[in-house]
Amino acid sequence: MSTPPRQKRLTPDDITALKGVRPAVCLTAYTTPMTRLLDPHCDLLLVGDSLGMVLYGMETTVGVTVEMMIAHGQAVMRGAAHACVIVDLPFGSYQESKEQAFRTAARIMKETGCDGVKLEGGEEMAETVAFLVSRGVPVFGHVGLMPQQVNTAGGYRSKGHSDKEADKIRRDARAIDQAGAFAIVIEGTVEPLAREITGTLSAATIGIGASPACDGQVLVSDDMLGLFNDFKPRFVKHYADLAAVISQAAEDYAAEVRARSFPAPEHTFQVRPKK
Ligand code: KIV
């Protein structure tokens, strides 16, 4: 009997090739069991630095470390059989120089086996993106609202409302596209601008709060599953209410433990009769 061919995961080039064909489906993933559930339905899984807020209770993504990204990147790679897997470069691990960015990206790719890295930034990061791409690192860009810049950007406001801001995002997206990114996240950006940018780039645009005009969509999985309810931005849709399901399960368990109705006989080991 012949062995079935090993299933190949999608590549960054496959994601770019979806542009103009059909929307790319992307979600964040941080752990192996969740990856196994999401992977068959997604084209791309992002090990986002949002994990700092979603899993670790941090206020922003600024405190996330390379070690955290590697541990979760490895966990996701253990569960992914189909989707392209991209790992975020965390704040402070790439902005200093293109050499620093290459060292961090190479370490993450070697230690996780992921397909590429994502970094935030526009014109100021274009040289770095070109440096990485020309040395074998597929880059997923990220423009518009950039959560790693929350401390200088005045919080998490949507972008592109003024002509000045729109022009900056336009230039940022063009610079990262020309530098060779295979795809670019456009976050928290007004629809006409996201539509215009999508129509002018070679890279696939992946929107989060940037309208259906983008070439694909990404959401933080815990947001769309109704697990992370600290706040609900306008662009999040809850496809499930897992927080309520988990609370109810914990309440039912606690009641049964207190009533000594769990564990029941079927959950209990008895001594086997002697032969
Ligand atoms: O960190 C993250 O999860 C992200 C996505 C929301 C795009 O950057």
Could you tell me which CATH number the domain at 12-241 has? 3.20.20.60
Output the pLDDT for position 99: 98
Q: What angle do CA 146, 150, 153 make, to 5 degrees?
A: 85
- Chain segment 38-65, per-residue pLDDT in tens: 999 999 999 999 999 999 999 999 999 9
For ligand 1, pick from 42, 149, 218 the residue to mutate: most ligand atoms within 8 Å of CB.
Answer: 218
Nearest CA to ligand 1 atom 2: 48
In order of 95, 141, 172, 235, the CA distances from 76 in angstroms are 25, 20, 30, 25
Output the pLDDT for position 52: 97
Q: Which pLDDT band holds residue 249 (cuts at 50, 70, 90)?
A: very high
- Per-residue pLDDT for 3 more than 60? no
Q: Which pLDDT band holds residue 2 (cuts at 50, 70, 90)?
A: low
Nearest CA to ligand 1 atom 5: 48
* Biggest distance spanned by C-alpha atoms of the chain: 85
Return the beta strands (E) in the chain as ranges: 24-28, 44-47, 84-88, 116-118, 139-144, 183-187, 204-208, 216-219
**Backbone region of residue 92 per phi and psi (left: phi > 0; alpha: psi in -120 to 50; beta: other values):** left
- pTM, 2 dp: 0.95
Backbone phi and psi for residue 272, each to the nearest 5 degrees, phi listed first: -70, 140
- Chain segment 77-120, per-residue pLDDT in tens: 999 999 999 999 999 999 999 999 999 999 999 999 999 999 99
Please name the residues in contact with 159: beta carbons below 8 A apart, sequence gap of 6 or more: 144, 145, 165, 169, 187, 188, 189, 190
- Ligand 1 pocket by Cβ (under 6 Å): 28, 46, 48-50, 88, 142, 185, 208, 218, 220
Output the pLDDT for position 257: 98
- Per-residue pLDDT for 33 more than 70? yes
Cβ contact 73:112 at 8 Å: yes
Per the prediction, the chain carries an average pLDDT of: 95
CA 28 to ligand 1 centroid distance, Å: 7
Output the pLDDT for position 156: 83
In order of 43, 151, 274, the CA distances from 25 in angstroms are 5, 30, 58
Q: Rounded to whole angstroms, how far apart are CA atoms 128 and 201? A: 19
- Chain segment 217-234, per-residue pLDDT in tens: 999 999 999 997 777 889
HSE-up (13 A, CA, CB side) for residue 32: 7
Residues designated catalytic: 187
Nearest CA to ligand 1 atom 1: 48
Output the pLDDT for position 186: 98
